[in-house]
Structure 1
Amino acid sequence: MEYLIRFSQSHETFRLAEIQSLAIVEGIDLNVISYSEESPFCVVRLPSEDAAKALLKRSVLAQTIHEHWGTAENYDELHAIIKRDTAHLWPQYKDVSFKINIDTYQGSRPDKRKIELINSFAYLAFEGLILLKSPDQEFTIFEQWDFDAVPRNLPDPLRIYFGRLVGRSVREVIKTYDLKKRGYISTTSMDSELALVTANIALAAPGKIFYDPFVGTGSFPIACAHFGALGFGSDIDGRSVRGEGGKKSLKGNFQQYGLEKLLGDVFVCDLTNSPVRRARTFDGIVCDPPYGVREGLRVLGCKDPEQKDAWLVEKGKQLYRNPRFVPPKKPYSFMAMLDDILNFAADTLVDNGRLSFWMPTANDEEQEIPIPAHPCLELVVVCTQVFNKWSRRLITYRRLPEAEVDMSALSQRKQEEQQNGHTADDLNAFRRAYFKGFKSEKANPDVVN
């Protein structure tokens, strides 16, 4: 049976990825018939109405799903399709209460015209009560208008859909986790909508273990916990993990939402100096690594431990148990960080487990940072959030079973891995481009590297 999904018209490159991921979580056979990022309407084929309800029950970017009765470019054609293809369904709804809505995307209709359009479906011969609140069945006329249809005074929509409401999404949950209502956040806390979408695309679900190696104030583990996964996290900055204690802390955020039972643990470390065993235990890794813009990227360690920084090493050995001790840090390459994330995921994800991480890039093709690759990881989808001169991408990989890994490519990768550079700018091409306003160095010959 065909179903019509009504998406929110936001984060367009994420919408299909979320729905396809939810189909995997629910074990649903999903076939996308028509979809465009320019439209909030998507027609899919699903095995049953129960499957349609299950598909949307935890979606964040969709709004509703409807049994698809017809699509056409005008009302005469739509009525003909409905009469031809759905007459056998009408008797089921003859005596139940109902209502018919009109959803005019990018367009507008006066109330009088809306009533006329609703009455044009009188041939359905529904005899039940018309209830505007809580009817047994709800039908909707969806009109898709061209851009700026109202100021351009366009007479007709581009396309018309008609369907019976089957299920709703959980889009309202965005308000529950709104950062403005959260007790403890930082300047880099991921907003609730994208955190929840990331958890969905990474296949967070009950019985799964998820980990965020750049946990900060806990946005991603909280989102994963909302969908039933057990969340773990770590961060190089112990202050962000501990907060002020009580409600003003990462654990306090979990308590605020009643999710404390789904917080495994949080600890202080960086990805290159991690106590996490390299064992295939995580079902998912979700994170938003630091971009190194506000300050250069750092990892634990000393730039020159054998000479001027040697005393820091000895101090660390003596005082590492002191909660006030701040360990020394050294510069870290942005590109090396990406490689380390992929290596860590390859070592710790279960078969078919997912890595979903955010990565910045310039919008200019010449300055665009390439998507990193790893022989053990298959690229699943890339979703993009565009800003002014730069974008950030949510990149999702699937951990391949060992039998599918190209072992020769893996061996070659290990031989080629190395780190170069010394300063924050040398190590981070994105940071350098950010502070140059993403101006092409070819277009600015006076710029000295």
Structure 2
Amino acid sequence: MPSRYLFHFAQVHTDFRLPELQSIAELHSIAYTLPENQDDRDPRRPFMVVELEGEEQARLLARRCILIKAVYEFYAQGSTYEELHAANKLSEPLWTRYAEDTSFRFLVSSSHHKIPQSRQREVMESFSYMDFKGKIDMKNPEIILLCFEEYEERHDKTLAKYEGDGDFRQVFFGRLIEEGSARPLVGKFDVKKRVYYGNTSMESEISLLMANQTLASPGKLVYDPFMGTGSMAYPTAHFGALVYGSDIDGRQMRGKQKKPGIIRAATQYGTASQIIDLATFDVTHNPWRCGELFDAIVTDPPYGVRAGAKRLGRKRELSERQRELCLQHSISPRPDDQPYIPPTKPYELSHLAVDLVLLARYLLKPGGRLVFFLPTVTDEYEEVDIYSMLCDGMEVIANSLQDFGSWGRRLVTIKKTTSKKYDPPTFEPVQPKYEEPVHVPAHKDFREKYFQGFKPKSSEEVQNAVNTEAEGSQ
């Protein structure tokens, strides 16, 4: 019979909580049930009561989910202490087994508020009917009982000390099962402590969340096609996966020392042996000659705020004279004996996203996941933007927003739902099909919008952009 457990979440990245919980539950084949009441399953609240088969499942989630601070055996909750105590008495079979001779520690805590010591003592004394006879041990107790008061967030208010005390939304009570042992990984992978990183390195907490979305575990093979300085490789390898990386600019992966920067950083984390290889190539001219190689693809595509995406090609076609000179140089060696550096051109984000999904469908095993960030303009975003990049056999299973105000970036998780084999994508531009009313995806031309301060375009400018896009694809 399922039991109820109280999950205490870190108050960050609230939109990422349920997708992460779902992913780790899938990884460990854990069945769970969220509260039926929408208010009780609101991911912005710090506490949630979840039904699980047993305590071991709760421990597995606490050991892997980055956003879980702790998990408790749930005893009771209420909007007042009278309701809490009434519910706790109904849960008596759960806690009476500890009443006779178990050492314990009793704590009273809260969210978004500080409870005065005097009232903490009153709350503890109100549980005297439980009649615990074991030793009170503040250092090494056998069990820890916690009473949590949940207060509303008050970011926009300046309150006096203890103001609003007792005016809580809900109060919860339970026994600590396990503290979230994955949370300390945020400090371990802190970019500031890393031996090699760059100005586009992903912050540790987000990279850990991305790794969890890939279901990284021992025996799995994960690919990052925009490797950069390797931010996604380290946590993915930490969870046991083998990692392959590539980038159009090998300097990002190598750094300036003889030993590649990514390998140096992976050595720092004890995962260098799990970096299978690093290669320099353009994903639109990739060397993959067979598909269904990888269990997951995880990446943060460059979208132009710090570094723009590039692909092989020229911005302008060469003249006949220039073609002749290039042909001559290809036959005879260059007089300065310098290596040939192929030209590149900008890789527009909306095209990149479509190509990335096509590449993932080809390279992923059935059931594999593509996890990537997509920046969007807040005022222009519509749900169709994410689904417009999909192709047959690929399904969106999570879409979490990291909000920065006028723009945000969405962590998109797409699953390969087909076992059909597909040919390698050609990455040829496809003429866009626009229907009335015209809606341009909120991530299209993101770099231009970012540096323009996200000023809305007039209807005439939008139509001109559409016409230009159509003409360029003909």
Aligned to 1:21: 23
Cα distance in structure 2, aligned partners of 1:274 and 1:51: 41
Q: 1:10 to 1:117 in 2, by over 3 A?
A: same
Q: Following superposition of structure 1 onto structure 2, how do residues 156-167 of structure 1 map, counting pairs within 5 Å? A: 156-167=167-178
SS of the aligned residue for 2:237 comes to helix
Aligned to 2:267: 255
Equivalent position to 1:12, from 11, 14, 17 = 14
Cα distance in structure 1, aligned partners of 2:65 and 2:186: 11
- The CA deviation string for residues 11-52 of structure 1, in whole angstroms up to 9 with x for no partner, is 000011111111011111111124213311111100000111
SS of the aligned residue for 2:430 comes to coil
SS of the aligned residue for 1:207 comes to coil
Q: Is the 8 A contact 2:99 2:131 kept in 1?
A: no
SS of the aligned residue for 1:57 comes to helix
Q: 1:82 to 1:414 in 2, by over 3 A?
A: same
Letter matched to residue 403 of structure 2: V
Q: 1:174 to 1:70 in 2, by over 3 A?
A: same
How far the C-alpha of 1:447 sits from its partner, in A, is: 12
Equivalent position to 1:301, from 293, 313, 318 = 313
SS of the aligned residue for 2:11 comes to coil
Aligned to 2:344: 329
How far the C-alpha of 1:297 sits from its partner, in A, is: 3.1
**1:77 and 2:77 aligned:** no
Q: Is the 8 A contact 1:96 1:136 kept in 2?
A: yes
Q: 1:368 to 1:204 in 2, by over 3 A?
A: same
**1:429 and 2:435 aligned:** no
Q: 1:290 to 1:120 in 2, by over 3 A?
A: same
Letter matched to residue 288 of structure 2: V
Q: Is the 8 A contact 1:367 1:440 kept in 2?
A: no
Q: Following superposition of structure 1 onto structure 2, how do residues 139-288 of structure 1 map, counting pairs within 5 Å? A: 139-148=145-154, 151=159, 153-154=163-164, 155-169=166-180, 170-245=182-257, 249-288=261-300
Cα distance in structure 2, aligned partners of 1:114 and 1:103: 8
- The CA deviation string for residues 214-234 of structure 1, in whole angstroms up to 9 with x for no partner, is 001111011100111001100
Letter matched to residue 253 of structure 1: A
Aligned to 1:424: none
Cα distance in structure 1, aligned partners of 2:246 and 2:332: 23
Letter matched to residue 125 of structure 1: D
SS of the aligned residue for 1:102 comes to strand
- The CA deviation string for residues 87-113 of structure 1, in whole angstroms up to 9 with x for no partner, is 453123431111111221012211111
Q: 1:198 to 1:314 in 2, by over 3 A?
A: farther
Cα distance in structure 1, aligned partners of 2:49 and 2:20: 15
**1:442 and 2:458 aligned:** yes
Letter matched to residue 150 of structure 2: Q
**TM-score of the superposed pair, with normalisation by structure 2:** 0.85
Equivalent position to 1:126, from 132, 146, 154 = 132
Letter matched to residue 370 of structure 1: D
Cα distance in structure 2, aligned partners of 1:124 and 1:319: 88
Aligned to 2:104: 98
Q: Is the 8 A contact 1:362 1:368 kept in 2?
A: no
Letter matched to residue 355 of structure 1: L
Q: 1:224 to 1:243 in 2, by over 3 A?
A: same
Cα distance in structure 1, aligned partners of 2:79 and 2:239: 39
Cα distance in structure 2, aligned partners of 1:77 and 1:150: 30
SS of the aligned residue for 1:392 comes to strand
Cα distance in structure 2, aligned partners of 1:437 and 1:206: 44
Equivalent position to 2:119, from 96, 104, 113 = 113
Cα distance in structure 1, aligned partners of 2:233 and 2:384: 27
**TM-score of the superposed pair, with normalisation by structure 1:** 0.89
Aligned to 1:373: 390
Q: 1:216 to 1:366 in 2, by over 3 A?
A: closer
SS of the aligned residue for 1:89 comes to helix
Q: Is the 8 A contact 1:247 1:253 kept in 2?
A: no
Q: Is the 8 A contact 2:52 2:58 kept in 1?
A: yes
Aligned to 1:338: 353
Q: Is the 8 A contact 1:13 1:383 kept in 2?
A: yes
Q: Is the 8 A contact 1:108 1:150 kept in 2?
A: no
Question: Aligned pairs, how many?
Answer: 436
SS of the aligned residue for 1:14 comes to helix
Aligned to 1:354: 369
Cα distance in structure 1, aligned partners of 2:384 and 2:306: 19
Cα distance in structure 1, aligned partners of 2:363 and 2:431: 22
Cα distance in structure 2, aligned partners of 1:82 and 1:133: 26
Cα distance in structure 2, aligned partners of 1:292 and 1:367: 21
Equivalent position to 1:391, from 401, 405, 408 = 408
Q: 1:91 to 1:106 in 2, by over 3 A?
A: same
Q: Is the 8 A contact 2:301 2:309 kept in 1?
A: no
Q: Is the 8 A contact 2:214 2:371 kept in 1?
A: yes
Aligned to 1:30: 32
Q: Is the 8 A contact 1:333 1:419 kept in 2?
A: no
Cα distance in structure 2, aligned partners of 1:44 and 1:190: 31
Aligned to 2:68: 62
Cα distance in structure 2, aligned partners of 1:313 and 1:387: 49
How far the C-alpha of 1:302 sits from its partner, in A, is: 3.4
How far the C-alpha of 1:134 sits from its partner, in A, is: 2.3
SS of the aligned residue for 1:251 comes to helix
**Which segments of 5 or more consecutive residues in structure 1 lack a partner in the other structure?**
421-426
SS of the aligned residue for 2:411 comes to strand
SS of the aligned residue for 1:254 comes to helix
- The CA deviation string for residues 194-213 of structure 1, in whole angstroms up to 9 with x for no partner, is 00011101211111000000
Letter matched to residue 235 of structure 1: D
SS of the aligned residue for 1:261 comes to helix
Equivalent position to 2:46, from 40, 65, 85 = 40
Letter matched to residue 7 of structure 1: F
Q: Is the 8 A contact 2:313 2:345 kept in 1?
A: yes
Cα distance in structure 2, aligned partners of 1:202 and 1:446: 37
How far the C-alpha of 1:332 sits from its partner, in A, is: 2.4
SS of the aligned residue for 1:402 comes to coil
